[in-house]
């Protein structure tokens, strides 16, 4: 898991990400992110919604054991992040780590 945390930091710095439920859902409907990462404490209804739309768009979806506060910290945000969409991995190997 430590490797995934460092990969998330790397992709936030050098890649392109979308943060937040609304933006990720819009991305799944329009832009097709390459990967969706869901925090461990994301509400169940929202988690099911994200998984549903990720299956429709054939986007890999990973539920981590990282809680929202820690995911927000990894993204450099002062607030909890329940879902993160990776549009471009940059120099990160996160797509290989997850799949």
Global confidence as pTM: 0.89
Range of the structural domain that residue 86 is part of: 2-91
In a domain, 57, yes or no: yes
Show the 3-state SS of the chain. Answer: CHHHHHHHHHHHHHCEEEECHHHHHHHHHHCCCCEEEECCCCCHHHHHHHHHHHHHCCCCEEECCCCHHHHHHHCCCCCCCCEEEEEECCCCCHHHHHC
Give the total number of structural domains in the chain: 1
Q: What is the pLDDT of residue 1?
A: 54
Q: What is the pLDDT of residue 93?
A: 77
pLDDT in tens, 23-54: 999 999 998 899 999 999 999 999 999 999 99
Assign 99 a pLDDT band (cuts: 50, 70, 90): low
What is the rounded average pLDDT for all residues in the chain?
90
In a domain, 96, yes or no: no
Check which CATH number belongs to the domain holding 49 and give it: 3.30.1330.30
In a domain, 97, yes or no: no
In a domain, 11, yes or no: yes
């Amino acid at each position: 898991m430590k490797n995934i945390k460092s990969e998330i930091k790397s992709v936030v710095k050098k890649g392109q990400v979308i943060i937040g439920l609304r933006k990720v859902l819009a991305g799944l409907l329009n832009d097709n992110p390459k990967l969706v990462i869901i925090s461990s404490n994301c509400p169940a209804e929202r988690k099911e919604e994200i998984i549903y739309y990720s299956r429709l768009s054939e986007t890999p979806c990973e539920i981590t054991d990282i809680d929202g506060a820690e995911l927000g910290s990894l993204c450099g945000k002062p607030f909890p992040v329940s879902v993160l969409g990776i549009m471009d991995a940059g120099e990160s190997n996160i797509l290989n780590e997850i799949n």
